[in-house]
Chain A
Amino acid sequence: MEIVQIVGFGLIAAVLVVLLKNQRPEIAVLLSVAAGVIIFLLVATKIKAVVDVLGDLADHAQVNSFYLATVLKIVGVAYIAEFGAQVCRDAGESAIAAKVEFAAKVLVMVLSLPIIAAIMESIIRLIP
């Protein structure tokens, strides 16, 4: 079961970060970033499988693949932004974290514009 492996690794990383916190805070932040990256690498193959299954279901239901691709892009952007914002917040820089999240919201809005346009068109078509 990978979850046991992941939790064990997370605890060890947390202890190491606390160990380094008071002498070398900068290396502690880098250590927590490295731990976060390792945990994602462990889970990435599973996420890839889920994404592939979603793609197959969408094709099976004749859903336009553009919409699913956009949703996946938004999820990807959101994940990276969340990763960066949490690292900045851990390092005590909540102002930078807020800016990163603000930029992510703008990017997600830009990504979702085509879908919003498509929805508006279909609504206008419905109104007689």
Chain B
Amino acid sequence: MNFDLVFKIAGIGILISVLNMVLKQAGKEEQAQLLTLGGVVVVLILVVQFIGQLFGLVKQVFNLY
């Protein structure tokens, strides 16, 4: 099964938190915020597609609608 999605998301999260620390050290606060926003948007896109797949499957299994 595709476990790699969880590891992909964890990787993105760790990368962003590290990059945030680096940006904060370099004094670029607003870019750190933008980076956080970008990271959350990327992860949200991945997860929302996955949830759509889940709901489609639940509809199929329990033949809702």
A contacts, CB < 8 Å to B: 9, 12-13, 16, 19-20, 23-24, 26-28, 30-31, 33-35, 37-38, 40-42, 44, 47-48, 51, 69, 72-73, 75-77, 79-80, 83
With A69-B63, A80-B58 already in contact, the answer to whether A34 and B5 are too (CB < 8 A) is yes
Question: Across the interface, which residues of B come within 8 angstroms of A76, CB to CB?
Answer: 58-59, 61-62, 64
With contacts defined as CB atoms under 8 Å apart, how many contacts are there between chain A and chain B in the complex? 95
Task: Say yes or no: A24 contacts B17, CB within 8 Å.
Answer: yes
Residues of the A chain whose Cβ atoms lie less than 8 Å from the Cβ of B5: 34, 38
Residues of A within 8 A of B34 (CB): none
Do A35 and B6 have beta carbons less than 8 Å apart?
yes
Closest to A111 in B: B64
Interface residues of B (CB under 8 A from A): 1-3, 5-7, 9-10, 12-14, 16-17, 20, 36, 39-40, 43-44, 46-47, 50-51, 53-55, 57-64
Interface of B, secondary structure class, is: helix
Whether B6 lies near A27 (C-beta < 8 A) is: no
Question: Which partner residue on chain A sits nearest B36 by CB separation?
Answer: A24
| Chain A residues, Cβ within 8 Å of B55 | 80
